[in-house]
Structure formats: structure tokens, C-alpha cells
Chains A and B, each alone.
Chain A
Amino acid sequence: MLRFLTRRSIGALFTLLIIAVVTFFMFFAVPGDPARLSCGKVCPPESLVLARHNLGLDHPIFVQFVQWLAGIFVGRDYPTLGHCPAPCLGYSFVNKEPVFAAIVDRLPVTISLTIGSAIIFLVFGVGTGVIAGLRQGKPLDKIASVSSLIGASVQIYFIGTLAVYFLVFQWHVVERPRYVPFTENPLEWAYGLLIPWIVLAVIFTANYTRMTRSTMVEQLSEDFVRTARAKGMSNRTVVLRFALRGTLIPIVTIFGIDLATLIGGAIITETTFSLQGIGRLSIAAVVDSDLPMLMATVVLAAAAIVVFNVIVDALYAVIDPRVRLT
């Protein structure tokens, strides 16, 4: 296990490095000069040169990349802006603060969105999936199948906006989605994110219901389930200890992907509900040509995907003893 994790972590880091290199070099051509942005509207040529120097933009791009990379591990000193402490992903001129600080500031919103909805869709998705799998062809199974089909086909910006329209503006059931830090007031926190959670859950649950149901059906016809039944185990034990365990493998796979997508910047979700998380941060970075910020959000999103991939692969071995990690 340890060997597997080490090997995969090195591979993951390598993947991230390549993504960082590709992004860095591609966005070098982004319109808008970061130096000009930092310099302000009226910018005499000599201050522009100075600003460019302060940002290290007068170095060759390769050197710039090495500086950026080194900054993540040892921090970085900007001649005029001062020190940017250790995980330094650059300095955002639009926000006038180190990129890392802005991300730390926004990350709780995205994580709250992710965790809340993940709990709902995991519980409901797997629950309905198991029940539908056990009651094949019964009304409950049909309802689950149909609703999962609809859930898988709706767009978040459509039903999200509809939900806000009816729940907030027509029926006045809840207030507009907003973010209150959990540490400040847990109840307000949950209340403010209720609509986004439910909408995300509606969309994601579908996938889990479908997946759980079809795997459950498959698992129930497996030999080990038959053996367990033959040994006289109760239906409950057979389902929970044997069939469900096998069902977990595909669930863990899609759960890893979904979590990564959600944390890596739920751009559409956050735009739909006007929540100021990482997704909005990245969009703002695009609009403002805030290169260091954009770079950081792309790498962060990629990191989420890569890390969850490793975790998922490791979990396979935990769930299914037949899986050998290599």
C-alpha cells in the first residue's frame, strides 16, 4: 500500500507539473499586460518598466516559471510588494494580495457547497439505488429510474435558477442563497446554502441511483452472494455486507470524480447562485486577465482531480480485497 501511494503520488506530482507548465506557457500569450494592470491607468513608460521588473516579467519565460514554481515551496520576494510567504502562487494585482490568500479566503464557500451536497446526494443516491436494485421492476424501481434519468439530463443553471425563482421570489420560502461561515453560525450556514445543496443533489443523485442500482442487480447474482445465502445468512447481512460492498467500487469512482469537479471550481454552480467561491474567483481572473490567479485556480482544480484519483485507486483495495495495487 505504501509503495503504491508513493509511486502514485510521484506520478500525480509529475502530472501536475506538466499541467502547470502547459498552462503557464499558454497563458503567457494572454491579452493584457500584468505590469500595466499593476501600474494603474495612467502609466508612464519608465514606471511600466519598473513594474515589469518588480514582477520579474523582464526575465525569460522559463526563468519566470522556475520562479513561480520555487515560490510555492520557499516563498517569494517582490521588490516593491514585499514578501509572499511559502505557498506563494503569485501576486494578484486585481485583488492586491497574494493569490494564495485570496484562494484561502474563497475556498470555504466551495468546500461548503461540496460537502453539503455530497452528503445529500451520496445518502439519497446510494439509498434509492439499493432499494431500486432490491425491488427490480416494482413501482419504486421505476420511479427511481425515471427520476434519475431526468436528474441526469437537467442543467444546473436551468433548474437552479428555477428553484431560486420559485422558492425565493414567488413563494418566499427561503432567502437568496448566500454564504455565512460555518464558524460564525452553523444554522445560517446551512440555511443559506440549502437551495444550492438541494439542486446539486437533484442533479448528482441521479447518477448514483443509476450506478448503484445496476451494480446492485449485478452483485446480487454473484456467486459469493449465492454462497452467503446458502450459508443461511439473513437477507440483511447478505445485502449490507456482501452486495453493497461490491457496489461501492463504481460509487467510489464516480464520487471521486464528482468531488474533484465540485472542489476544482463549481464554476456553473457558483455563477448560478452568485456564490463567491473558487469558481467565481477563476471567472473573475479570466475577466480581469489576472494571470497569477488564473494559473493558481487551474492548477488547484487539476490538483483536486489528481489527488482524488489516487485516493480512489487506493480505496479500491480497501473495499475489495481481490484488488491488488501495483
Chain B
Amino acid sequence: MTALTTRLPARFLPVLATVVLFVITFGAGSLRYDGFASGQVIANLFIDNAFLIVLAAGMTFVILSGGIDLSVGSVVALSTMVTAAGLRAGWPVPLVIIAVLLIGSTLGLLMGVVIHKFDIQPFIVTLAGMFLARGLCFLISVESVSIKDATFREVATAVIELPGGVTITYNVVIALLVVLAALYVLHRTRFGRTVYAVGGNEQSALLMGLPTARTKVGVYVISGFCSALAGLLFSLYMLSGYGLHAVGMELDAIAAVVIGGTLLAGGLGYVLGSLAGVLVLGTIQTLISFQGTLSSWWTKIVIGALLLVFIAVQRGMIRGRRRQAAVAS
């Protein structure tokens, strides 16, 4: 009766694999190119991908619960549009921020409620959400709207000096705060643990008396909020709002989460893995830009190959688990 076989390391294996992958790609770049292994290159990884880190954190919640959210890229675009249009109309910056975050969270809430109440696949519902948000952008303006607000531009260009002459933007601070918050919520709160429970076995979670309905809707609210926040960061990064911003970014976010070791079936994964996943994607991009002659589409090709490998590995893990379960029974 005392089977004391703690196999915690096995659960961390996918995340470790991603971290190792990051170290290898970064190490390869450092050996190949002068100036690659500098603090600023690392800082730039965070600066250029702050919005993706926030998106991936939200997406981690959704995928852990066994769902998927395809709307995040469009919500980012809508957020940039609302930000730019709001500022152009002379709204104060805090009002713009509140409006954007509210819109994103509400869209998430709506999708979550539809998914839960009508028991429709998240894929379809969030696909509808994706078209809706993208369409709303063009309702505001079909043109790109640049942001000229002084306060906003000041925040966008402000840098924080770190020791060693490395600079980062406020975007990075916000992104890292989001990751910390996600870590806390996922691992220290009942809501977070219920997300894992629902992803592991929804029926069991329900029979255990856990609030599965609230949790399932909640993850989409979180993802919507994160998308809106990422949209704000993207506005700071691009200083414009445009309906064709962030096309396909939902796929980058999903790729980062999966490469970060989160099981697409739900129930297993870590938000730090998603962070590592974003960094791997960023490093590949940096590598290709350092190389200079390769087209940037090579980034997509490498990401595609990586995704395939990671999903194959996950598949193997699930099979292994099933076999284990079969032997145990």
C-alpha cells in the first residue's frame, strides 16, 4: 500500500527540454556570430516579444483547461485600434487602458459563456470570436491609425537602465509581472488548481464538486484580458493601431505554449514553460536576422518543424502514461 514513487522530475521534463533547447539555440548563435551573446540581445528578446509573453501566459490557462483560444491575435489588433482611435479622439490614457481591458475581458467572457452553456467546441467559438474582433477593427477604421499622444509615446520610448548598460522597456516589466501573476494564480489558488483538474479530467473535477463551469469560463476571461493587455503593449511597440496588426499571432502564442511543454490535451504544463517557448521563438528570429541573407519566412519553417517534434514527443508521453495506467490497473 505504500507505493512511494514520486516521479516529479518526469512532469518537469518537457519544460526542461524547452529550456535546454533555448540554451542550445542561443549557444549556437553565440558561437556563430560575434555580439550575439550580449546582455542587450537577451534584453531585446524580451522587448520584442513582451506582448507575445503576455498572450502566451493567457493561452497557457486556456490550453491547461483543455481548450483553445484562436481569437487572441484579433483581440490584439482590436485593442491597438481602440487605443489608437481613442487617443486620436482625445480620451485620457487611463480611460483608454480601462476601455481596452474591459473590451478584451468581455469578449473572453462571452466566448467562455457560449462554450460552456451551449457545449460547443472552443475551436469554433473562438474562431467566431476571431472573425468578430477582426471585423470590429475595420468598423473603427480601415486605415492604419498612428498614435501621437505625448504621454503614450513617452511611456513607449522610456527605457529602464539595468546594470551593465542593458536597457529594457516598461513593456518587459509588465510582461514579467503578468508571468508572475499567472504563476501565483495557477499554483497557489483554488482557481488555478481547478484549471489543472478540469484539464486532467473534467468529469472527475465535476464529480469532485469543483466549480468547473466558473473555471471554464474564467480561463477565457483571463485569455481575453491578456490579449487586451498584449494589445496595449503592442500599441506601445508599434505606436499605431491597424486592423491587420497581429495577423496569425494566435498561432505564435499557441506554438509558444506547446513548445513550452504544455499538453494540448490539457492538465499538464507550466507558465514558465510558455515563457521559455516564447524565448525559443524569439531566439530563432534573432538568429535568422543575424544571419542576414535568409528570408524571415525561415522563422516560420523552423517553428513549424519544432512544433511537429514537440507534439510528437507529447503524443509519446500520453501513450506512455496510458500504458502505465493500464499496467497499474
Partners in one complex: no
